[in-house]
Amino acid sequence: MQVRSHLSILVHDLAKKYGAKQALTFKNFGSTTWKSVSWNQFSFRVKQVSNALLNIGLKPHERIGVFSQNCIQYLYTDFGAYGVRAVSIPFYATSSEEQIQYMIQDAGIRFLFVGEQEQYNKAHRIFALCPALERIIIYDSSVRISTHDPHALYFEDFLKFGENLPRQPEVEKLWAEAQMNDMCNILYTSGTTGEGKGVILTYKMFDAALEANGKCVAVSNKDRIINFLPFTHIFERGWAYLAMSQGAEMIINTDPKEIQKSMRETHPTCMSAVPRFWEKVYVAVKERIESSSPMQQKLFKHAREIGRKRNITYLARGKRAPLNIELEYQLLNKTILSIVRKQLGLEHPNIFPTAGAYVSPEVEEFVHSIGINMIVGYGLTESLATVSCDRKGEPFTVGSVGRPIDSISIKIGANNEVLLKGPTITPGYFHRDKANQQAFDSDGFFHTGDAGYIKDGELFLTERIKDLFKTSNGKYVAPQMVEGMLLVDKFIDQAVVIADQRKYVSALIVPEFRLLEIWAKEHDVEFENREDLCRDKRVYNMIMERIETLQQRLAQYEQVKCFTLLAHHFSLESGELTNTLKLRRSIINKNFKEVIDKMYEE
């Protein structure tokens, strides 16, 4: 049964209910050993942080920043801040110095919590440029503090300010005074088109989200949730708080690159992810099957087809599978499909919410076919994540983003824009009056910038309006849809579609070099480096042939007519990706102008 409390006391109420039950499983920085803490221990540590924050001078409604990857200290800090009515502002661990300086100054942050050496170094370098900033508090005790830094201290030393809970009566008074309309977080958007805006999230929004999601998301105190996305991401933050409110155990994965290893070690039942995770799983499983014996390939293909019939053709449409298919599925599920899931560490899968980008129908069907409940959804930071989602055990349509959650109103406006209104929608952007005026219409509906439609109660997205390209022939192309289609190919790691004001669609493609090098050796393609591979005509023709197969269902004007292979990945450092790994198209167009122009030469 869900515990719905003000976030200032949620952890403590959960501790009253679950006591010694495991709450958090984690690794210390640099450790290879998983450890756990109970709900009682979680509650005590949060109280200690609340007391320490008061003792270092933090006042209600003041703001702290958290500049770290996921870790147990992150949760202690957030909930400790909520306990004293402070505002916690998360930064992506990959943020640049310029970005954190901007956010610290914009929000007036006094205390900044940092994770590892990289985050500390950046914070230390910009400290003097941020007059409001007073202290840097470091989670990882192995971080080397500069000898010229009197403002930094380790988290363990910070906790000593709250030892024996010296300010607990004052903390409990603040719990009693906490209001639902208090500001809880400010989440700065990635800024795909410019400087990020601070989205205000209130406790009332979280409460409404916990209530609405609690009715339709099938997570319980029997689940073990592994964190893959950063807590800075509204999807992970909202999902984590929902799971906690249901008493689920949280497995905190600190390094996103180790997620599959962590899954195999901890055997979670649920995880939220972006589509790219499942695209890579799809490609990896296909690669493993293609390298197996003909008999194994035949068996897996048959098992997958029976899984597709049972889970997509019947169950997804609200129908019961015929007895012969159901019986065959149960047998194949135990003997073949379970092996695939075990390799992922998913012996007992429950649900896997997926959102944040276009989900390829091919990938969605595959995930369901192997017996994993992918719960496709849609949301924004401004809507505190979920706007709509699939429901476990209920009919769904591959290609939709599910049914709207309770309490939210959706209106389809001009240009088919999805407009939102309800208690989970932000009151606005921090210190951005002009942006707030533009974001809401006269009836109070929020402009999402996404185009879509509702059919039979399900929401379907068609394109991101500002990303919609118009070719010089007057045809409209949705780049994310084409890119999502390309990324299911095992030889393609990154793809950017080019079409705006151009004669036809082209693309910049970064190959999956590990597989491409194997292919090149098998086909006697000589190369000394990645540049050689990218220039080779046989490589180009092979990838073009695969693209032509993938895009057969697209209209002629949507199809990629030519592409350029790039030897280096798009990156955060170059400014070509946001902290959420979304493409910054304007930067990419600028950085690769000559390469792009060459694809359109007569």
Question: Which tens digits make up the pLDDT trace of 363-404?
Answer: 999 999 999 999 999 999 999 999 999 999 999 999 999 999
Question: Which tens digits make up the pLDDT trace of 484-494?
Answer: 889 999 999 99
Of 39 and 474, the structure prediction assigns the larger pLDDT to 39
* pLDDT score of 545: 95
Residues 513/534, Cβ–Cβ less than 8 Å? no
Report the distance separating Cα 550 and Cα 308, nearest Å.
20
Q: Is 165 helix (H, G, I), strand (E, B) or coil?
A: coil
CA atoms within 13 Å, Cβ hemisphere of 530: 12
Q: Binning pLDDT at 50, 70 and 90, where does residue 155 land?
A: very high
Q: Which of these, 71, 13, 68, lies nearest to 250 by C-alpha position?
A: 71
| Whether pLDDT at 192 is above 50 | no
| Whether pLDDT at 158 is above 90 | yes
| Whether pLDDT at 473 is above 80 | no
Report the mean per-residue pLDDT for the chain.
94
Residue that the structure tokens 């070719």 belong to? 471
Question: Which tens digits make up the pLDDT trace of 76-108?
Answer: 999 999 999 999 999 999 888 988 999 999 999
What structural domains and CATH numbers belong to the chain?
Answer: 275-465 (3.40.50.12780), 468-599 (3.30.300.30)
| Whether pLDDT at 559 is above 50 | yes
* Mean pLDDT (whole number) for 577-590: 88
* pLDDT score of 193: 45
* pLDDT score of 194: 52
* pLDDT score of 181: 96
pLDDT over 90 for what percent of the chain?
A: 86
Indicate the helix (H) or strand (E) that contains 24. Answer: strand 22-26
| Whether pLDDT at 189 is above 70 | yes
Strands (DSSP E) contained in 59-143 are: 63-67, 87-91, 111-114, 135-138
Question: Which tens digits make up the pLDDT trace of 399-450?
Answer: 999 999 999 999 999 989 999 999 999 999 999 999 999 999 999 999 999 9
Q: Kindly report the pTM of this predicted structure.
A: 0.89
Q: Is 565 helix (H, G, I), strand (E, B) or coil?
A: strand
Residues with Cβ within 8 Å of residue 467, at least 6 apart in sequence: 478, 479, 480, 585
* Mean pLDDT (whole number) for 339-364: 93
Report the distance separating Cα 251 and Cα 470, nearest Å.
45
